[in-house]
Every structure is written in structure tokens, then in C-alpha cells.
Amino acid sequence: MPNITELLDDFKLNQQILGRKPKYIDICSWRLIHWNEFMQLELSIEDVEDVQAIHIKKYIQHRQQLAERVIVMFNDSEVKRIIYEVQEL
């Protein structure tokens, strides 16, 4: 069975052959590396053929939860900045 890490290297090479811009390849690679880490660390999956639809859904849910945390952190810092500015008045 093909290992996810091996396929990541193949993907990068294929994108270079297709003439994709380096920035695009970097962004795709970054996303795939994080997906691979999640599959290995959270779900103990290393082979592509073991990935099922539920695993993809769990990864999407994981990323959405991370995004919610970032928004909350941003909102907290934004609120603190606004309060600080009001106190200065």
C-alpha cells in the first residue's frame, strides 16, 4: 500500500513538472503535511488506502475547531485593544 509521505513527495514533483508556481506548491504541500500529521498522530493512519470518508470529515472538523480558536483569540485581543484605546480617552 502506498504511504502518504511517499505520495506527498510524488505530488510535489508532479506539480513542478506541470509548471505550477513555487508558492502554490508550497501552500498545497503545507496543507498536505498538516493533513498527514493529523492522520498519523490522531488516527494512526499511514497508508492512503486506509483513509475513509469519516477520516476526512474528522480532519475537516479538526481544522474548523482550530479556526474557531483563532477567531476567539483574535476577538479577545481586538476587544482588549479597543478597551485600552477607550481608557486612554
Domain residue ranges of the chain, discontinuous segments joined by +: 1-50, 52-89
76 vs 49: which has the higher pLDDT = 49
Residue 80: other Cβ atoms inside 10 A? 10
Over residues 18-63, the pLDDT tens digits come to 999 999 999 999 999 999 999 999 999 999 899 999 999 999 999 8
In the structure, what pLDDT confidence band is assigned to residue 75 with cuts at 50, 70 and 90?
low
Q: What is the CA radius of gyration of the chain?
A: 19
Residue 81 has pLDDT above 60, yes or no: no
Residue with cell 476587544: 79
What's the mean pLDDT in 70-88? 55
Placement of cell 488506502 in the chain? 49
- Residue 89 predicted with pLDDT over 50: no
Distance CA 52, CA 35 (A): 13
Q: What is the phi/psi pair of residue 54, to 5°?
A: -65, -35
